[in-house]
Structure formats: C-alpha cells, structure tokens
Amino acid sequence: MKTTETLLHARWIIPVEPDTTVLEYHSIAIDEGRISAILPTTRARKAYQAQTVIELDRHALIPGLVNAHTHAAMTLLRGIADDLPLMEWLQKHIWPAEKKWVSEQFVHDGTQLAVAEMLRSGTTCFNDMYFFPEVSARVAAGGMIRACLGMILLDFPTVYAENPEQYFARGLAMHDEYKHHPLIRCAFAPHAPYTVSDQPLQKIRMLADELELPIHIHLHETPTEITDSVRDTGLRPLDRLEQLGLLSPNLVGVHMTQLQDDEIRRLAESGASVVHCPESNLKLASGFCPVQKLLDAGVNVALGTDGAASNNDLDMLGEMRSAALLAKAVQQDASALPAHTALRMATLNGARALGMADDIGSLQAGKWADITAINLCALETQPLYDPVSQLVYAAGREQVSDVWVAGQQVLKNRELTHLDSQELIQRARGWQTRIAAGDSGA
C-alpha cells in the first residue's frame, strides 16, 4: 500500500482536461503540494494510506478558479460610486478617492479583504493590477493564495511613483524579490493605451520578451476609447499596440468589448489572450465582448471579475453564469458558450493567459493541488442531472466548502485557515467610516 499526505474522496471530480469530462466517485492523492494521482475511490481506498483523509461525498472537486483580472485593493471602494458610466465613474469618483486614500495600508487591508472573499468563493489564483503591488504580494503569500501581481505603469505621477522610470524601478524590484516564490508571479501592467505613451510601451515589450512575462492591459473597453485613439493617433488601440510590437502571446487584453472581425483574426494569429469581465462591462455599460466569435477563432479567452468597485463582488461562480448567459444573448444562439466552456474559461484559460497552465488550471497528476470543493447536494442545486451545468447555472459561492492551494487547506468547512474574518470585517468598517466621511469624489 502506498502512502500519501492527503486523500480526497469526492462524489464528482471535474478535471477540465480532458474537456467535458466528469469523473464519478473518484479520489485525488496529494503529495508535496501537488496532485500525485486521480483514481476511482474504490481503488484509492485499497491502494493508499493517507495522513489526512477527507470525505467529500456530496461535493464536486474542480480546479481552483483563476480570476484573470482584478484590482484587489478596491474592495474598500465597493459601492462608493454605483450606476455611473466608466469615465464619469473614474474621473469624478474613483480617481479622486484613490488620490485621497490610497496608501500601503489601504492596499494591505483592501487586498486582504479581497483575498478572503476570493478564497471563500473558490478562487485560488488572481491576476492583479494596482498600486503598491509589492504589498499585495506579501498579503497574497501570507493568505496562501496564488497571485500574478502587475508591475503597474502610467505616464502620470501617483502616490506610488512620479514617472515611468520610477514605476519600472519599483516593479522590477518586486519581480526580483519574488521570482522564485512558489505562489507569486509578476506581469507588466500598463494601465491602458490612453494612459501610457509609446516609449514606455516599447520598453515593456522589450522587457516582457526578455523576462517571458505577460503584459496585462485594459484594451478596447469602450467606444470612447476607440474614438479618442483614432482622433489622437490615427489608429485604433490594437493597431497601435501591434505597431509597437505588443501583439504577441504575452499580451493579455482585458475587456475587449469593441472588436472588429479582422482584429479577432489578428488576436488569434498572434496568440494573445482576452480576459472577459461580463459583470463589470454590464454595470458600466461598456459594451459586449464577442466571446463566442473569439473562441471560434481560436483565441484564448479567460474570465475576470474586475475590481469590487465596478462589479461589486469577486465571485467567479457568478461570473461564469453571467458570461454564459450573456454570450447566448450576444450571439443570439442558445448553444453559445456552454457550461463546460465557461468553466474552462474560469480555470485553464486563465492559467494559460498568465503563463501558468503547466502548473494550475486543471486537475492532473503533476500539477499543483489548487482545488475547490463545492457542495452540490444543497437544496438549491437539486435535482442534479449534470454537475457542470449545476455549477455554472445554479450553484452559489456559499456552496464552496473547502479550498486547497498547493495542497494546503485554506478554507475548511467555510472557515478561512490563514485569515481572521472578523478582524477583516472590522478593518473594512473602519475604512468605510473614514472614506464615507471624507470621500473627495462625493
């Protein structure tokens, strides 16, 4: 009989690879943080002796969800300026509030709150773009969640840096500090084509090629962005990035609600990834990402929530449902974006966009044991004919019971093991009191 550190016996295992596969009454063996085997439970009970055995006979095990676009610290601005269009929301409310309040402590507390919310909803990896990313890296490592932290870049000064040279210096210092960390990865994160000029973008292209890192950027988010770009540069934003050499497998374009057919073709040919944020786009009335067209063309499409200030949650289960339903309406085809594809977008496609698909995103022997357990035997998901459809169309994040990251249990029976929920709530309330009393954007 073999020995293993942890053995999970599940009613269903949905590995994502191979596609559309559902394994009934199977088990996962975990050793040194990685999946060592997936096999039928009857065989696992005879073949393995484990230090820890967990029975999950009401649950589906899926790969930990990958939230491919976040501004984690903005949880502290959740609900501060709702029901407004993007540029008014940004310029009159969010940017003034950030100018007044953003600090290392703000980022620490906001990111901790976000990490807790994401873990409790089954997310085990997030791709972040915000100020003080080195603080977010420390929070993610301490909270035991996997993270890709953006080396933020803007042309203009902020509380974080005075100019592009300082943004680069601080970002690259963080990359050097965490380049061997098991949970933390870095990406270049130029905010958007309209906030970053050509020379810094060219430098990013050079460094991204040299360091083999993703380039995480808001792109083709609104009609105004396209109109202004054509007015100011004579080019649509994607054309400009292509001229600068950024249209490549490194590119992770977020939102992409304004795309022409030839742009979809070029995205596919380049190997670039798209991150779809359906709920944020709907709330800000930014437009509709042509997800099914992108998928049909062979583009890797991942899912993200965006920040809690424009969503207003970090719930990837909800994002899957919204993405699947919205795609059907946009495509006018009820078969568009089926449940299995939505789950793949929220897991393996996100991992692929971040250059992490060899290690996470599906349940396979050799990959990190980033695993989410969802109780599908609750009243709200009965009767159950297809567990993947139930996950995408019926299950809620409150049904996430247990989560593992690199084999460590970070959520146990809905309780966080590395973070104090009550302390986070009290800290968030403290920020709410301060910000509500002095929100310069109100």
Within this chain, do residues 144 and 192 fall inside the same structural domain, yes or no?
yes
In a domain, 426, yes or no: no
In a domain, 438, yes or no: no
- Amino acid 86: pLDDT: 82
pLDDT, tens digit (0-9, with 9 covering 90-100), for 306-362: 999 999 999 999 999 999 999 999 999 999 999 999 999 999 999 999 999 999 999
* Res. 272: pLDDT tops 60: yes
- Which of 353, 382, 397 is at the close of a domain? 353
In a domain, 398, yes or no: yes
Could you give the maximum distance between any two Cα atoms of the chain, in Å? Answer: 70
Within this chain, do residues 102 and 41 fall inside the same structural domain, yes or no?
no
Within this chain, do residues 304 and 318 fall inside the same structural domain, yes or no?
yes
In a domain, 71, yes or no: yes
pLDDT, tens digit (0-9, with 9 covering 90-100), for 6-61: 999 999 999 999 999 999 999 999 999 999 999 999 999 999 999 999 999 999 99
Within this chain, do residues 37 and 80 fall inside the same structural domain, yes or no?
no
* Res. 114: pLDDT tops 70: yes
* Res. 440: pLDDT tops 70: no
Lowest mean pLDDT among 193-197, 249-253, 432-436: 432-436
pLDDT, tens digit (0-9, with 9 covering 90-100), for 356-391: 999 999 999 999 999 999 999 999 999 999 999 999
Expressed in angstroms, the distance from the first to the final Cα of the chain is: 65
In a domain, 429, yes or no: no
Within this chain, do residues 159 and 28 fall inside the same structural domain, yes or no?
no
Please state the domain count of the chain.
2
In a domain, 335, yes or no: yes
Helix (H, G, I), strand (E, B) or coil at 223: helix
* pLDDT tier at 442, thresholds 50, 70, 90: very low
pLDDT-above-90 percentage for the chain? 96
Give dist(CA 438, CA 442) in Å, integer: 8
Buried residues in 290-318 as b, exposed as e (16+ CB within 10 A): bbbbbbebebbbbbbbbbbbbbbbbbbbb
- Amino acid 85: pLDDT: 84
Within this chain, do residues 120 and 100 fall inside the same structural domain, yes or no?
yes
Within this chain, do residues 29 and 112 fall inside the same structural domain, yes or no?
no
Within this chain, do residues 55 and 77 fall inside the same structural domain, yes or no?
no
Write down the pTM of the prediction. 0.97
Within this chain, do residues 211 and 309 fall inside the same structural domain, yes or no?
yes
Within this chain, do residues 84 and 226 fall inside the same structural domain, yes or no?
yes
Helix 133-143 × helix 164-178 angle, to 10°: 20
In a domain, 441, yes or no: no
pLDDT, tens digit (0-9, with 9 covering 90-100), for 90-111: 889 998 999 999 999 999 999 9
Which CATH number is 340's domain given?
Answer: 3.20.20.140
Give dist(CA 348, CA 15) in Å, integer: 10
Q: Mean pLDDT across the stretch 201-215? A: 98
pLDDT-above-70 percentage for the chain? 99
**Residue-number span of the structural domain to which 371 is assigned:** 2-63+367-416
Within this chain, do residues 56 and 179 fall inside the same structural domain, yes or no?
no
In a domain, 442, yes or no: no
* Res. 441: pLDDT tops 50: no
Within this chain, do residues 71 and 206 fall inside the same structural domain, yes or no?
yes
